[in-house]
Amino acid sequence: MQDFGADRCLECGSCTDVCPSARHGGIVPDEVVRNYNEGKPTVNVWKCLQCHRCSAECPEGIDVAGLICHLRNEASSRGDIPERFTRSAKQMSKDLRMYPIIGRTASQRANLGLSTGEISDEDKDAVSKMLRGPGFDE
Amino acid sequence: MSDSLYRGCSIPARLPFIEAAAKYIIDTLSLDIRDMGELPCCMEPVGLKSLEHDSWLDVSSYICSKAQGRLVTLCDGCTVSLAGSAKEKGSDLDVIGFLEIIHENLGAIKDKVVSPIGMKLAVFPGCHCESIMSSKGKDANSMMADIVKAIGGTPASPAKNLCCGGGVSSIDDDLAKAILNESVESFKATGASAVVTSCPFCFIQFDMVARYRTYSIVELTAKAMGWDADTEKYHRGK
């Protein structure tokens, strides 16, 4: 079990003060930490930007962004995955890259004198076997 | 020992001019950085890491295991992902972004400036760059401002704790737009003619989504050093 240091929370609200999502009605990081400590469910985990400003600001060194990522892992294991990230996982499973090099960028690369190579079979085999669990199973 | 350059997948596939600019800087300064070649995605830290922790840890650790010397990244998402896995594995691998490479060579870069950029630029390294620098006790904003000054520009400071909103794009588009607009309005309020960033995702959000004039710090540094590629066609922002 990862230790995010959530039990050290002083409820000072520093994490929420710096959160760009909270400023616009998204996730509220100090609520997430409080709910986690009280064993309550958290909503809006996918409205976190994973910008890590909360973790950098916390005076107690709580890894708030890491905790939210952990809660996203839990949501994901229940099948609660935004369509955007389902697509990302499919793309990663297919090409082992989030963004494949296709026609337009291939020609931009050629114009810039950049190579367009392939991932080696050894790396493809090794990494393909590492992709498992929610999003990657299909 | 040479350092190792991991190019990631976002910049090679979506913003290859930044990769070309980095290579120009490496070559012009004769930096001892070896290209690691074609490798899989780092399992970026916003979406893929959120899906399954062990898959993220295994893949990003695999990439780290291929590095010799320091692992140099072009994308700050890669920096966060790879540095995070190195830390979790107890590895002493030093993962550094290209902003740090530019900053640690600032003296040599100043000597090579032939075309000072002459612009006032809002400085926005990006959340991931700021986070990783903060974890090392460094301030990404002041590092980027140092670079802007060294290449003949004038840095301007927007509000703190901004974000490009890319992390919630296509999840909650109203939220993403509000976060993006807040940043662009703050850049405009500085009186700058454009924003300069280190992060490819910020570049895409500001330049291609908000259509606000955006530069990569790698691109501007190479340009100031005499890189003559026509990068105008890669920009959408006005």
Give the closest residue to A21 by CA, choosing from B168, B111, B152, B23. Answer: B168
Is it the case that residue A102 has pLDDT exceeding 90? no
**Residue numbers in A near B58 (CB within 8 A):** 130
> pLDDT 10s digit of each residue in chain B, 238 long?
899 999 999 999 999 999 999 999 999 999 999 999 999 999 999 999 999 999 999 999 999 999 999 999 999 999 999 999 999 999 999 999 999 999 999 999 999 999 999 999 999 999 999 999 999 999 999 999 999 999 999 999 999 999 999 999 999 999 999 999 999 999 999 999 999 999 999 999 999 999 999 999 999 999 999 999 999 999 999 8
Under DSSP, the state recorded for B209 is: I
Angle ∠(B146,B151,B153) on CA atoms, nearest 5? 80
Check: CB of residue B82 under 8 Å from CB of residue B60.
yes
A126 backbone φψ class: left, alpha, beta (φ>0; ψ -120 to 50):
alpha
Residues 6 or more apart whose Cβ sits within 8 Å of residue B126: B76, B140, B164, B197, B198, B199, B201, B202
A107-to-A111, A119, B39, B177, B228 alpha-carbon distances in Å: 6, 19, 20, 31, 18
Residue A122: Cβ-neighbour burial (10 angstroms; 0-12, 13-18, 19+): exposed
How far apart are the two ends of chain A, measured CA to CA in Å?
27
A2 — pLDDT class (breaks 50, 70, 90): confident
Answer yes or no: do B54 and A136 touch at CB < 8 A.
no
Give the closest residue to B127 by CA, choosing from A2, A45, A48, A29. Answer: A48
Q: Which has more confidence, B45 or A116?
A: B45
**Residue numbers in A near B21 (CB within 8 A):** none
Mutate to test the interface with B, among A14, A42, A50 (most CBs of B within 10 A): A50
Give the closest residue to A16 by CA, choosing from A27, A3, A4, A5. Answer: A27
Check: CB of residue B221 under 8 Å from CB of residue B21.
yes
Check: CB of residue B10 under 8 Å from CB of residue A99.
yes
Q: What is the distance between the alpha carbons of residues B210 and B176, in angstroms, rounded to a whole number?
A: 11
B178-to-A90, B14, B184 alpha-carbon distances in Å: 29, 24, 10
pLDDT of residue A137: 73
pLDDT of residue A115: 85
3-state secondary structure of B95: strand
Q: Which of residues 45-64 of B touch A (CB under 8 A)?
A: 45-55, 58-59, 62
Answer yes or no: do A55 and B46 touch at CB < 8 A.
no
pLDDT of residue A1: 65
Distance of CA B195 to the CA centre of its chain: 13
Q: What is the distance between the alpha carbons of residues B129 and B145, in angstroms, rounded to a whole number?
A: 14
Residues 6 or more apart whose Cβ sits within 8 Å of residue B62: A123, A126, A127, A130, B40
pLDDT of residue A34: 97
Give the closest residue to B163 by CA, choosing from A72, A65, A73, A61. Answer: A65
A33 — pLDDT class (breaks 50, 70, 90): very high
Q: Which has more confidence, A101 or B67?
A: B67
Q: What does the mean pLDDT of chain A come to?
A: 94
B27 in A contact zone (CB under 8 Å): no
Tens digits of residue pLDDT in B20-54: 999 999 999 999 999 999 999 999 999 999 999 99
pLDDT of residue A117: 83
Mutate to test the interface with B, among A119, A127, A128, A138 (most CBs of B within 10 A): A127
| Cβ count near A115 (within 10 Å) | 10
| pTM for this model (two decimals) | 0.96
Residue type, B49: K
Tens digits of residue pLDDT in B118-128: 999 999 999 99
DSSP E strands: which ranges in B50-139?
A: 71-73, 95-97, 120-123
Q: Which of residues 142-171 of B touch A (CB under 8 A)?
A: 160-163, 165-171
pLDDT of residue A138: 59
pLDDT of residue B32: 98
Using CA coordinates, name the residue in chain A closest to B57: A130
Mutate to test the interface with B, among A21, A54, A119 (most CBs of B within 10 A): A21
The β-bridge relationship of strands B3-6 and B33-35 is parallel
A16 in B contact zone (CB under 8 Å): no
Check: CB of residue B217 under 8 Å from CB of residue B196.
yes
Give the closest residue to B171 by CA, choosing from A48, A71, A18. Answer: A48
Is it the case that residue A85 has pLDDT exceeding 80? yes
pLDDT of residue B1: 87
A132 in B contact zone (CB under 8 Å): yes
Q: Which of residues 178-217 of B touch A (CB under 8 A)?
A: 178-179, 182
The pLDDT of A113-117, averaged and rounded, is 87
- Looking at the partner chain, which of B52, B62, B171 has a beta carbon nearest the beta carbon of A134? B52
Q: What is the distance between the alpha carbons of residues A22 and B179, in angstroms, rounded to a whole number?
A: 10
ipTM for the predicted complex = 0.94
3-state secondary structure of B22: helix
**Residue numbers in B near A19 (CB within 8 A):** 161
Q: What is the distance between the alpha carbons of residues A128 and B47, in angstroms, rounded to a whole number?
A: 18
Is it the case that residue A136 has pLDDT exceeding 90? no
